Structure 1
Amino acid sequence: MMQFIVLIAAILLLVASLYLHQKQRSFRQITSKMPTLYGIPFIGIAYEFINLSKFYERVSIGFDELQCLTGCIWVATTPVIVTVDPEIIKNVTSSPDFLNKSRDLYSHFHNGILNGIIVSPVKKWRADRKIISPFLSHSNIMSFFPLFNGNAKRVKQKLTNVVGCGEQNVLDILKAFGLQLSILTIMGLKMDEGSEEYNKMMDSFNILVNSMAKNSVYSAVGLSFLTETPLYRKTKKYVRGVVRSLIKENMNKLAESDKLEEYEESNQTLINLALKAMHQGQFTSTDVEIECFTMIAASYETSAIAVFSTLVMLSMHPEVQERVFEEIKSVFPDKVTSVEYDDLKKFPYLDMVIAESLRLAPPIPYIGREAVNEAKIRADITVPKNMQIVIPIYELHRRPEVWGPESKRFNPDNFLPEKIAKRPPCAYMAFSKGMRSCVGFRYADISMRVLLISVLRNLKFSTTFKFEDLVFMPRVTLSYKDEPKLSIELRNN
């Protein structure tokens, strides 16, 4: 019996080996034109990325080994093109042939609550984006300014309360208020920060994000089932229930309204647009749940980490922080009562600082595209349908071939107009690029700047954490292995 089992196993291994060999041969028209890392048969090089704290270091080493800005790697039995070449990135992100998201890179989003517009196939994405685009229109974002300012004031007050209390976990504060703002602008409902329901929701979001981060790595080697723990399943059920209850509240408001048109005029939140689409047969109730939750999760997480990274960089570079403060003070000599849209044009140096902070710590650290049809990525390379291309933005922003020999140093002068003009457009893409870039970029960018202007006018930040000790982790958004804690002082002028 044992001999029979061994024989069957040997035959299966032989068949699998022949299949893998044949598959590798079928991709030689691509791999012969670029350096390729094959790794271990049936595993590829995926095992090298299991240690999340070494993930970005390993990516950097991988490009050094390839000795090229574009190469091919085998992940299990799947070839994937990885590139930090700005010209290829431009071709991919601007091409209608690459409007699908990479199936493997975004597998962790397919959990029943986040697989909305972020990962939708191109046909569904086009239709759904048209439905929700009014929420992200310029005029609608302008209507959110009172909410952005209100959020900034609450964050400033919370931070003021811990002035002189030693180093604080500022990111938790930013996430808490960011989630509150997202629910308010997206669902039109106010959740009191600090309430039992609110704290439970925050904890659930953190569990969800951590589990998805592990899933994104484990799925590459066929071990995604390891993240399907009872806690993860319980958390997904709870979060889905919360979103359904928020939707129900809005549906009750709609039912109380005499006319749908009157309700729409008074409520331009995302939930309003989604319910309208459901009323018209364009969305199912599940679509409403998924799109609303996806937008909440994406907006609060990316905004919070972007603000935090900027504060961290300013804390580590006090001379830069003082220059930012003087710029803000020149516009608001006494205090910030309200930041309006026209005010945002008055802070060129702050904009440079934010851009440089997000260069070194991009909220979206990597993106992936998949060929809808056979397509060219450069003149001599045509990729087949369904070929996946990964763009590690974190590494792109640090490659010396793109940013010079001091590419890993914090230097806001990288974003002087004359330096921007000399770089390829796709050398910098903190919120991705092209038609499938971050849909909430304008929302995140404006809310972030309003918050930073308000906070930095009154408060001064410092830290004992060293810049060279920063280690980043590849979660759903960029995260820190050890989050720097920040000390806060009150400014007297």
Structure 2
Amino acid sequence: MFNEIVAIGLIGFFVYLWVFRRFYYLIWKLNGLYGLLSQPVLTVFVWSMFDPRYVIDRLKSLRENYRFKGPLGVVIGPRGVLYLDDPVSIEKVLNSPQCIDKTFIQDGFFTRKGLLHAKGQKWKNRRKQLNPTFNLANLVSFFPIFNTIGNSLADKFDVLAKGNKDVDSDHDNQINYKTIEDFINRAVLVAACRTTMGTTTNFLDTDDEGIVEAYKVLFKISSVKSYKPWLQLKPIFKMSKLYKIDVKYNELIDMFVKKIVNEKNEIWKENRENNKSREDDDFEGTTVPPVTRRNFIEHIFHLAENGELTMQDIEDESSSMILAASETVSNSLSLLLLCLASHPDCQHKLQQEIDETLNGAEITIGDIQNMKYLDMVMNEGLRLMPTIPMLLRNVSDDFYLQKDVVVPKDTFIIIDTFHIHRDRKLWGPHAEDFYPEHFLPENAASRNPFIFLPFCRGLRFCIGWRYSLFLAKVFLVKILRNYHIETNVRLKDLKFISGISLKVKDKKNVHFTVSKR
């Protein structure tokens, strides 16, 4: 009996090796015999990382304690995983058509039906359809909206500066990080709703319907499902305590988006008919069509009119864009304020540039483009604390990573943005410091562009990267033009949680002091 069990075990082992022979061959090519012999230890190590509280620290330990140079291959259960932290391999992956798909990890994201998580040809088609909504002319037309909402956000900081007891603060007017983060998140959500769906909301002052809370909760649940992918199986998820919460808030968001989309669609149809009549009168007898500029919601209504999208597609894309904008911009801006609060010299230098550049109350695209130090500060914040700490890709077909190295289909690729951005070999002695001079023209010119990935690069770079930068810069200028911010923490003492986006660990220990300039 014992011999039979051993025989079955050996047969199973050799079948397993045969099934995964191509990936083990990849490990041999990349990491040699040492890589193969390390597999049991590496497998256990990777499994231990399935907790967002420890991923960043354990990846750092992996980089420091294992003598691998370049890509690292690991077999985890039924999947091959390829970890990348070198710019040459990263450039190859991000420019490969076989590496544009997101992974099964991201299937737990609650807005997975839109562009954010489309795959293959569907993603290519949808990206092409939506590209015109993010052209520069459209983005510049949003600046009055950014200014108006930025002024309202600055008013909230005025409340903080006065030490209003209605806000969440401790002794000596110490403002909790979560309070600042909440104000910024609400302001960005207002801007996202206004620019994406053309609807005005009052989330900065009230959230009677619970929409702000719904987006926050669903994002947290999405993060949990990414680290516990078995929860993506509906029968298992139904047994989780998160299921009823997920259903409740998904229904709330669906109703919120559906209501706005239907209302805006009716208005758009009415305006479309009126404009068409005027155009027929104005252009009768000519061959020159009118030039049309459309925002996001108007553009996708136009696509639906042409039969390219359904109403469900419109709702999916609207919800995805609102969440993507609100989460990435609010998170990066909150983290940047933390950087500047802990570096008063940089904050003062930026405030000087703001004072010297702005002539009026409203911020223009020209003002933003003229503030070079603002650009350096924004990039440095995104380098040191990237909103998305890891980029994940699934290989849709075999491709060559190197001349004689083939990455097999269905390989799971991890690009470690967080540690690439802090690698001393790539960034020099100030790699782990907030040092805006990293982005002086003379320093950036000779640098491989694939060591800086705040909005990804290559074929699937972020469609809304300019939108995010413009909105974040306007809000930051509005705040720092009027207020000085200090904090009780040093950046080197902070720990981070690597969920879908980067979060500060132990937020309760991080405080701000806001004072009027």
Counterpart contact for 1:278–1:285, Cα < 8 Å: yes
Shift of 1:331: 1.4
Partner of 1:34: 30
Q: 2:439 aligned with 1:426, yes or no?
A: no
Partner of 1:243: 257
Change (3 A) 1:299 1:438: same
Partner of 1:281: 307
The one-letter amino acid paired with 1:364 is I
Q: 2:414 aligned with 1:397, yes or no?
A: no
Partner of 1:23: 19
Partner of 1:54: 54
Change (3 A) 1:265 1:481: farther
SS at match of 1:141: helix
SS at match of 1:286: helix
The CA deviation string for residues 421-473 of structure 1, in whole angstroms up to 9 with x for no partner, is 23211111111111211111010011111111221111100011222221111
Moved more, 263-272 or 20-29: 263-272
Partner of 1:152: 150
Larger radius of gyration: 2
Partner of 1:269: 295
Shift of 1:240: 1.4
Equivalent residues in 2 for 1:66-85, closer than 5 Å: 66-67=66-67, 68-85=69-86
Change (3 A) 1:106 1:10: farther
Q: Distance in 2 between matches of 1:460 and 1:369?
A: 41
Partner of 2:328: 302
Q: Distance in 2 between matches of 1:198 and 1:260?
A: 35
TM norm structure 2? 0.86
Counterpart contact for 2:79–2:410, Cα < 8 Å: no
Moved more, 354-363 or 229-238: 229-238
Moved more, 72-81 or 191-200: 191-200
Q: Distance in 2 between matches of 1:69 and 1:260?
A: 60
Change (3 A) 1:331 1:247: same
The CA deviation string for residues 246-296 of structure 1, in whole angstroms up to 9 with x for no partner, is 111112213433518659988823222222222222112221111111100
Change (3 A) 1:195 1:262: farther
Partner of 1:188: 198
2:212 to 197, 202, 218: 202
Number of positions where the alignment pairs a residue of Structure 1 with one of Structure 2: 481
Moved more, 252-261 or 308-317: 252-261
Q: 2:358 aligned with 1:332, yes or no?
A: yes
Partner of 1:449: 473
- Unmatched runs of 5 consecutive residues or more in structure 1: none
Change (3 A) 1:12 1:318: farther
Change (3 A) 1:17 1:194: same
Q: Distance in 2 between matches of 1:398 and 1:220?
A: 32
Shift of 1:84: 1.0
The CA deviation string for residues 375-430 of structure 1, in whole angstroms up to 9 with x for no partner, is 11222321123323221211111122222344212211111222212321111111
Moved more, 224-233 or 85-94: 224-233
Q: 2:297 aligned with 1:290, yes or no?
A: no
- Backbone CA RMSD of aligned residues: 2.9
The one-letter amino acid paired with 2:115 is I
Counterpart contact for 2:420–2:451, Cα < 8 Å: yes
Counterpart contact for 2:106–2:117, Cα < 8 Å: yes
Counterpart contact for 2:98–2:396, Cα < 8 Å: yes
Partner of 2:126: 128
Partner of 1:100: 101
The one-letter amino acid paired with 1:454 is K
Q: 2:241 aligned with 1:215, yes or no?
A: no
The CA deviation string for residues 89-130 of structure 1, in whole angstroms up to 9 with x for no partner, is 1111122232222x2332222x4x333111211211111112
Q: Distance in 1 between matches of 2:12 and 2:355?
A: 67
Counterpart contact for 2:183–2:204, Cα < 8 Å: no
Q: Distance in 2 between matches of 1:466 and 1:342?
A: 34
Shift of 1:158: 1.1
Equivalent residues in 2 for 1:455-474, closer than 5 Å: 455-474=479-498
SS at match of 2:515: strand
Q: Distance in 2 between matches of 1:456 and 1:54?
A: 34
Q: Distance in 1 between matches of 2:245 and 2:293?
A: 36
1:314 to 318, 325, 340: 340
2:273 to 241, 249, 259: 259
Partner of 2:139: 141
Change (3 A) 1:252 1:9: farther
Q: 2:401 aligned with 1:377, yes or no?
A: yes
Change (3 A) 1:360 1:455: same
Partner of 1:167: 174
User: What percentage of aligned pairs have identical amino acids?
Assistant: 24
Counterpart contact for 1:316–1:462, Cα < 8 Å: yes
The one-letter amino acid paired with 2:123 is W
SS at match of 2:83: strand
Q: Distance in 2 between matches of 1:65 and 1:260?
A: 68
Change (3 A) 1:133 1:259: same
Counterpart contact for 1:209–1:475, Cα < 8 Å: no
SS at match of 2:388: coil
Q: Distance in 2 between matches of 1:71 and 1:278?
A: 45
The CA deviation string for residues 221-249 of structure 1, in whole angstroms up to 9 with x for no partner, is 98873575211122122211211111111
Change (3 A) 1:323 1:21: same
Q: 2:243 aligned with 1:229, yes or no?
A: yes
Shift of 1:131: 1.7
Shift of 1:72: 1.2
Change (3 A) 1:23 1:38: farther
SS at match of 1:190: coil
